[in-house]
Structure 1
Amino acid sequence: MNAIVKQLDTEAMTEWFEHMHRHPELSMQEERTAAYIAETLRRFGGYEVETGIGKHGIVATLKAGDGDRTIGLRADFDALPIQEENDFPYKSTVDGVAHLCGHDGHTSMLLGAAKHLAETKNFNGTVRLIFQPGEETMEGGPAMIEDGLFERFPVDAVFGMHNIPGLEEGKFYFHPGEMMSAVDNWEVEIVGKGGHGGIPELTIDPVVAGSSVVMAIQSIVSRNVAPANRAVVTIGAFLAGNAGNVVAGNAILRFSIRTTTPEDREMVLGNIRRIVDHQSQSFGCTSEIREGVPGAVLVNDAGETERAARIAQAAFGKDQVIYPGPSFLASEDFAFMLQKKKGTYCFLGSGPGKMVHHPEYCFNQDILPVGAAYWVALTEGYLR
């Protein structure tokens, strides 16, 4: 076992994790969670804690020695609009909202590292702990950056990490270059004419039009994206009507569009616009597309990725570090931070279990001290 793991306050990390899991808050609404994090950090002593960055973001700064290098470590803390279907003693107490991506675990790991770093100060330089809201909606990272994150709190490099079910428990996975896709979250409204389900000739059915849109859109990637590239269009929500004998007046479709090249992104989005418009019109409906905050491809700096992987190998052993590791079509607004500062983002395997965003997803608490130990090792190695 890594020596740092044995020194960490695992009991406290468990307490923080279970508290946040019980009290989840949606993206950019995390006022109570932010206050809880800031209060916890101040109890450690030694940190300069700044709050309200990009609405609910927090930066905690700790200095040791006379070194002039600065490292940034980032964790997210927003929850998802999903009803949890677990039966833990610490399950979500908020109906329809739950930490089903592990952001409560990410924050607990960084808090565990923060406590240890404040107690030991076994580094020479400055560490800035960045606690970010709004990752799930791609709002928090850009909001903190726009609020002067890196001008007010300069760093030489910035690092992030995410738990991944299905990857081997306790192992770290590093991938240089493009690691995660850009994402565009859109909402489409198709408007028809509602009426009686037994008199369809007096209606214009948006469900039929929407169904045609769904099927047509599935041809975009398979027929237009080169097999060597990667993209996916997911329609995760189709909302229309409340009764089987009523033709709805409108239908809402919610899209998650993921691409890995600027050219494919432009092509896929253009084809979605065309299909939505033409398919809706062909059924006599009108349509409106509401575009969300666009994401970005997450690109890891090759040098910083190699450096972080070497530090992890020294701390945990070469057999616990996969380099190069996998890439995914999931998305992360940490990508925006990597556009401003060099750094890298890694995955921490959490072993078997439901994938993130599943109603029965369960964060593996056994990896809390592992993730915290990585943050400590990275800080001490980078600020040697």
Structure 2
Amino acid sequence: MENSNALILLRKELHQHPEVSGEEVQTAKRVLSFLENFPPDKVITGLGTTGVAAIYKGEKTGKTILFRCELDALPIEEINIFEHRSRSKGVSHKCGHDGHIAILCGLAIELHQKKPESGTVILLFQPAEEDGTGAQKVFLDPKFAILQPDYVFALHNLPGYDMHQIVVKNNTFTCAVNSIIIKLKGKTSHAGEPEKGINPALAIAAIITEFNTIIQSDIEKEDYCLITPIYTKMGTKAYGVSAGAGEVHFTVRSDSNSQMRKIEGTLENLAKTIANKHNLSCKIKWTQGFQANENNKTTVDVIKKAAKTIDFALLEKDTPFTWGEDFGLFTQQYPGAMFGLGSGLNTPALHNPDYDFPDEIIATGVAIFHQISKEITNAH
């Protein structure tokens, strides 16, 4: 019970002091301060900027298993008025990363108190998940290269699902997401003589219209493809001037990484063809890309076995989640899986300004991660 209270206090403290992607300096310090009470065999700091890896080694050699959580919060103003509300204006933990950190710290307590029988357990506290850059920064860090996990796992809390329920799925768990920025350049002219310039308006309209024809928004069918217009800009508020440049941004979602590559090519070709038809130059940039989490069946089976062993409710989902999660990069590199942990049917949705991670599920997360680690590290 004492450890449980310590984890809740940590979670609330993290909630009060959120930091956006790439700026999680104090969050990482709080994690390190907590881990000092349950010392790992080795700690690596500064992974991919602010990341931390805590390594607990077993009595005998064996498999290496990595569990990952996220350090960052979101640029969202919190509207909750409880005592542990965010003290940082315009920033708050609206995805539950504070809770995910507490769960991994709870696993640290378990691993410190009773070493794995075999193998190694790595707890990765990863920066910058929300902007899609953190997993790659960690993966490319030479300090990470020496770790070489055999299996990787992560969980995400799920509002709208029964509290404490474990949600699994083979193959794609979260969608591939990428965002495209299309910049068009023509020529400004007098608004009374638009024919003497090249205005991008019709090209922007055509791109939006053509992209719309590619959408297949039913996740239950094959070739899921969601294209959402995000932002557009053209000209200036100078009413005597016909615009000579503009840009339009979209997010693109697909239910597999291979399908996403095809969609990206199609959209680039369409944008360039339309720009060419309207005598515009066209520059295309992709940003905030998330690989799909493509779950490995063997590791999903381990999660299912762990849930049954400790008698947790289990739900096998038929379709992927449509949001992106950069843990997908790790499931591309190593056998692994992301799974869901129900955070209550009536919990506000992720990224909503009134969302708060429910402390009741911290112990559930610790228990399922610990059981997964036992399934693998005690398998010898």
What is the TM-score of this pair, normalised by structure 2? 0.84
- Counterpart Cα distance in 2 of 1:354 and 1:240: 36
1:59 to partner: Cα distance? 0.8
Q: 1:302-346: CA deviations, max 9, x gaps?
A: 1121122111111134xx012356422222221221222212211
Match of 1:4 in 2: none
Unaligned runs of 5+ in 2: none
Task: Give, as a single letter, the amino acid of the residue that structure 2 aligns with 1:100.
Answer: K
SS of the equivalent of 2:210 reads helix
Q: How does 1:1-384 map to 2 (within 5 A)?
A: 9-121=3-115, 123-148=117-142, 151-190=145-184, 210=204, 212-222=206-216, 227-238=221-232, 252-261=247-256, 264-277=259-272, 279=274, 287-292=282-287, 294-317=289-312, 320-323=313-316, 326-351=319-344, 352-384=346-378
- RMSD of aligned Cα (Å): 3.3
- Counterpart Cα distance in 2 of 1:94 and 1:251: 35
Query: Conserved in 1, the CA contact under 8 Å of 2:151 and 2:336?
Result: yes
Unaligned runs of 5+ in 1: 1-6
Greater Cα shift, 80-89 or 58-67: 80-89
Task: Give, as a single letter, the amino acid of the residue that structure 2 aligns with 1:315.
Answer: I
SS of the equivalent of 1:44 reads coil
**Aligned pairs, how many?**
374
SS of the equivalent of 1:83 reads coil
Query: Conserved in 1, the CA contact under 8 Å of 2:57 and 2:120?
Result: yes
Task: Give, as a single letter, the amino acid of the residue that structure 2 aligns with 1:265.
Answer: M
- Counterpart Cα distance in 2 of 1:372 and 1:194: 60
- Counterpart Cα distance in 2 of 1:117 and 1:350: 25
Query: Conserved in 2, the CA contact under 8 Å of 1:41 and 1:47?
Result: no
1:186 to partner: Cα distance? 2.5
Identical-residue share of aligned pairs (%): 27
Q: 1:248-272: CA deviations, max 9, x gaps?
A: 8765543221123455324422332
- Counterpart Cα distance in 1 of 2:185 and 2:82: 42
Q: 1:32-74: CA deviations, max 9, x gaps?
A: 2222222221232244211012222211011242242322111
- Counterpart Cα distance in 1 of 2:67 and 2:192: 61
Q: Return closer, same or farther for 1:265/1:64 CA change in 2, 3 Å cut-off.
A: closer
Greater Cα shift, 103-112 or 268-277: 268-277
Q: Return closer, same or farther for 1:190/1:132 CA change in 2, 3 Å cut-off.
A: same
1:128 to partner: Cα distance? 1.0
1:108 to partner: Cα distance? 1.3
Q: 1:115-161: CA deviations, max 9, x gaps?
A: 23212436443211111112222222122221246641232211111
What is the TM-score of this pair, normalised by structure 1? 0.83
Q: Return closer, same or farther for 1:277/1:354 CA change in 2, 3 Å cut-off.
A: farther
- Counterpart Cα distance in 2 of 1:325 and 1:263: 20
1:210 to partner: Cα distance? 4.0
Query: Conserved in 2, the CA contact under 8 Å of 1:12 and 1:112?
Result: no
Task: Give, as a single letter, the amino acid of the residue that structure 2 aligns with 1:83.
Answer: E
- Counterpart Cα distance in 2 of 1:383 and 1:43: 23
- Counterpart Cα distance in 2 of 1:365 and 1:207: 50
Q: Return closer, same or farther for 1:70/1:166 CA change in 2, 3 Å cut-off.
A: same
Q: Return closer, same or farther for 1:342/1:191 CA change in 2, 3 Å cut-off.
A: same
Structure with the higher fraction of residues in helix conformation: 1
Match of 1:3 in 2: none
Q: Return closer, same or farther for 1:274/1:135 CA change in 2, 3 Å cut-off.
A: same
Q: 1:89-110: CA deviations, max 9, x gaps?
A: 3333333332221112111111
SS of the equivalent of 1:214 reads helix
Query: Conserved in 2, the CA contact under 8 Å of 1:78 and 1:136?
Result: yes
1:286 to partner: Cα distance? 5.1
Q: Return closer, same or farther for 1:176/1:267 CA change in 2, 3 Å cut-off.
A: closer
